A = this chain, B = another copy of it.
Amino acid sequence: MAGDVRQPAFVLVRPQMGENIGAAARAMWNFGLDHMRLVSPRDGWPNPQAVAMASGAGRLLDEAWLVESAAEAVADCDLVLATTARVRGLTKPVYSPERAMTEAQARIAAGGRVAVLFGPERAGLENTDVALANALISVPVNPEFPSLNLAQCVLLCAYEWRRASAEVDGLRMEMAGADWASAIEVEKLAEHYEGRLEEAGFFFPEHKAASMKLTLRNLWSRMPLTSEDVKTLHGVLRQMVRWKERG
């Protein structure tokens, strides 16, 4: 993994302008964060405009992970936070940046890995991206003028990360020997249920299937699952299938 793992990865999902990627890199490095991941930047990668804008923080771009999907970008993380301007029809905790970075700090202190998702400039994250997240981050902007740009949103989260790390240095979380499930474990759990329930005819009627799948994925990602919980839930489903197969 590039950079220091004792910090969150900031994941720019389908960013559009190279300048904004560069400005985001600067904003991160202003507060000591240097682990960036890029999901399908619109104009390809590397991007000369990004490099020009990042001056002084260009190393972050050189070391950034380039991936195809948001799911891939967060696969190794066990706490995924998604910044969003508007609150959606999904049941999730909504954190202030301060609370979110305090959670991130605690999780990392406990040995976990954290990703923070930032959406494309105009549209923001899509629901399928948001469904990967354990919680949302909402910046308490003026409702009459909620026009934060990408780099500003990154700046505020990075700033709160630094505040949180200064304050809770040394804090640990008691896990009773358990580990948090990683995003890839939760993803595989979601796939397992989705696959078997598809066979079982759960996603019916057809026109509701997509939203039923999203609801179920959102349910798994929102739960504070440990690796043990995930094993138990796989076991539950496997046993039901064995029962069916015994007929």
Contact = CB atoms under 8 A, between A and B. Distances in A.
B94 A163 contact: no
A243 B145 contact: no
A140 B155 contact: no
Nearest to A151: B152
A30 interface: yes
A interface, size bucket:
35 or more
A235 to B, nearest CB: 7
A240 B242 contact: no
B232 A219 contact: yes
A173 interface: yes
Which of A29, A30, A146, A224 gathers the greatest number of chain B CB atoms within 10 Å? A30
A214 to B, nearest CB: 11
A18 to B, nearest CB: 18
A96 B142 contact: no
Contacts of A171: 93-96, 99
A88 B176 contact: yes
Contacts of A232: 215-216, 219
A152 B27 contact: yes
Given A152-B27, A222-B224, A91 B240 contact: no
Interface in A164-198: 166, 168-178, 193, 196-197
A196 B243 CA distance: 10
Contacts of A176: 88-91
A89 B228 CA distance: 13
A142 B29 contact: yes
Interface stretch (A42-50, A72-80, A105-113, A199-207): A199-207
A196 to B, nearest CB: 7
16 contacts: A30-B141, A30-B148, A30-B152, A31-B141, A56-B147, A90-B174, A91-B174, A93-B171, A93-B172, A96-B168, A96-B170, A136-B174, A141-B162, A197-B236, A200-B240, A215-B232
Given A31-B142, A91-B175, A199-B243, 7 more contacts: A93-B172, A96-B169, A201-B242, A219-B232, A222-B224, A240-B240, A244-B244
